[in-house]
Amino acid sequence: MNILAYIIYFVLTYLITVQAGFIFYRNGKVYILRLLNGDEKLTDFINKMLLTGYYLLNLGHVAFSVHSWNTIESRMELVTIVTTLTGRIMLILAIIHFVNMTVIFLFSKYKKSIFSS
Amino acid sequence: MKDALNFTAYLIYLPAVIFLTWYVAHILFKNSRVFMNDIFGGKVDIALSTNKLFETGFYLLNLGCAFLVMDITYDIKDSRSLLEVLSAKLGGFSIYLGIMLFFNLYLFFRGRRIAKQKAKQAEALKSTGSLA
């Protein structure tokens, strides 16, 4: 049962992480572009670095969290543990996402106050 | 089959929370485009991006919470306690979703108010500048 649980868990978290990361990548570009006054090359670079770091962090965390699982004996335990851990990953993603947005917002505010005063 | 009813509870709970979250997010972020357009003064690309980012965050946060609290630690023995447990969980999640919905609405209204104030200030500055 453990192997089956690992497979389901990996597929689920992989799908969620990659999907969310791609959405952030596509929609975050506008912000960084505006922050850097339309410097396309640097924006692409920073965006790609952010995406790579995000993937490394999350997939690494997913892979790492597997080592502490107990033996799974029934399908109920399987559903419970897979769902709970997926929920945890999603919460972590959400927190990282909102922190990221706050940081970009603060950056743009700071920048505006430099240039307008 | 000692754990049969727990499994049934999960099978009802998971589709229900996913559907609830999808429904609320769909309604909220379909209508928030108007607010985003007001907040960003008609800059469509950044308004749509912000909308999408908030939507993704909303899904992640709420589904994450729903999945995290799914665990029912004791065995459900009859259909009565199944109903009671399920209604407590789903009701609690609905209340939580409602609070998140109103929090988001508050953020949208606040952003719109601030954007309007800024526009007014800019206009006032412009008119005084042209007078002087």
B107 reaches A (C-beta below 8 A): no
- Structural domain boundaries enclosing A59: 2-103
B75: closest chain A residue by CA: A76
Query: Residue A38 — left, alpha, or beta (φ > 0 → left; ψ -120 to 50 → alpha)?
Result: left
Say whether B43 sits in a helix, a strand or coil. coil
Does residue A114 form part of some domain? Answer: no
Its pTM stands at 0.83
Domain count, chain A: 1
pLDDT band at B17 (very low <50, low <70, confident <90, very high): very high
Q: Tell me which amino acid residue B39 is.
A: I
Domain count, chain B: 1
Q: For residue A117, what pLDDT is reported?
A: 41
Q: Which residues of B touch A27 (CB under 8 A)?
A: 48-50, 52-53
Total CB pairs under 8 A between chain A and B = 79
Test A75 with B53 for CB contact under 8 angstroms.
no
Ranges of residues in chain A whose predicted pLDDT is under 50: 117
B65 in Cβ contact with A91 (< 8 Å): yes
Does residue A110 form part of some domain? Answer: no
- Give residues with Cβ within 8 angstroms of A76, minimum separation 6: B3, B6, B7, B10
ipTM over 0.90: no
Q: For residue B2, what pLDDT is reported?
A: 54
Does residue A78 form part of some domain? Answer: yes
